[in-house]
Amino acid sequence: MAFLGSTVRRMVTAVRPPRSPLCRTPARSCSSEPTKEKSVPYEKTLKQNDRASSGPTKPLPRLATNAVVIGGGSLGCQTIYHLAKMGMTNVVLLERDRLTAGTTWHTAGLLWQLRPSDVEVELLAHTRNVISKDLEEETGLHTGWIQNGGLFIASNKQRLDEYKRLMSLGKVYGIESHVLSPAETKDLYPLMNVDDLYGTLYVPKDGTMDPAGTCTTLTRAASARGATVIENCPVTGIQVRADDLGIKRVKAVETAHGTIETPCVVNCAGVWATKLGDMAGVKVPLIAMHHAYVVTERIEGIQVRTPSALEQGTEPQTTRGRWSLCSSPHSDISPLMHVLSPVCALRPVCVCVCVCVCVCVCV
């Protein structure tokens, strides 16, 4: 069994100082009345378990496949798209419900190109090209990509120096960015209180995407290249065998509707990756955390092209259509010490995965 890749991200749970330039919008700009359920912008996006299980959306393959990707979220859809694009067309993606029905549907869809690792910068630059250009050319469908730019906020010299290092790394990969003074930041983002800012780093070609639209487009492109996407097909087990050296190898994937023979499984189950790993005898180092975000009513001055903003120690603020989406860490963040049931994903809650892992078990 082999781990093809893992990215470990540790969440900072320290309590934020009471003042933040991202959370100082004048009170008059916000509605004073509580938000009613029907006015929430995600009303039509909330996943409701109101569809009877009528079997898989496509027949299961009768012959063995090269690989089975388990999980129809952003990671699974990206995986099958790139496998198909590289010529590996005899692959299947299995989703227990609908695409993005897990935790992907309510993500912010942010894409920040600058990271401290050159590998991450190169990967994000590639992802941006796929989301903003390649997919639309291949399918004629739009991913919901909006190039609104991104702002890294610095409240002291040390933080701005750190952002300048990111800017230098980005130049190697052709990523445009600019250091802005507080006054220039105010011109770009009029609602922001810049009284205690030292400066910002502006990346004009950062942006946001629609998570559901992106995943739909990815799978459409993969299907056009010969890959198979099967929804409403929960995985119930993974068969393994021992080779001549006693090493466990994948033999088949068991589902509620039949068995698929395959030598390779890609675990893209997100917060359920641990449970899926247990089926194959693989320990997945992942833990899910309770978290939350806030979706506001419309705020005057917030435009579709208003940059997403990130201050170290907070979660980013961005826009979603006519609304503002803002999330922040909490002092009482606690881990989910139980395996999430599928029903958990159908409720309007946000789960933050602290360790993102793509696990591949193959010959």
Query: pLDDT digits over 11-53, tens only?
Result: 223 323 334 444 444 433 334 344 344 443 444 444 444 444 5
Q: Determine the 3-state secondary structure of 328 from DSSP.
A: coil
Q: Which residues contact 159 (CB under 8 A, 6 or more apart)?
A: 198, 312
Task: Note the pLDDT of residue 158.
Answer: 96
Q: Which residues contact 282 (CB under 8 A, 6 or more apart)?
A: 1, 267, 359, 361
Sheet holding 67-70, edge to edge: 2-8, 355-362, 264-267, 67-70, 91-94, 228-230
Mean pLDDT of residues grouped by 10 in the chain (363 residues)?
30 34 40 41 43 80 96 96 96 96 86 93 94 95 93 95 95 95 95 93 95 95 97 97 92 97 96 94 86 75 84 67 57 52 40 34 39
Radius of gyration, alpha carbons of the chain: 22
pTM as predicted:
0.77
Q: What is the CATH number of domain 110-209?
A: 3.30.9.10
Structure tokens at 193: 């209180």
Give the homologous superfamily in CATH for domain 54-109+211-288.
FAD/NAD(P)-binding domain (3.50.50.60)
- What's 25's DSSP letter? -
Q: Where are the domains of the chain?
A: 54-109+211-288, 110-209
* Contact assessment for residue 289 and residue 352, using Cβ atoms and an 8 Å cutoff: yes
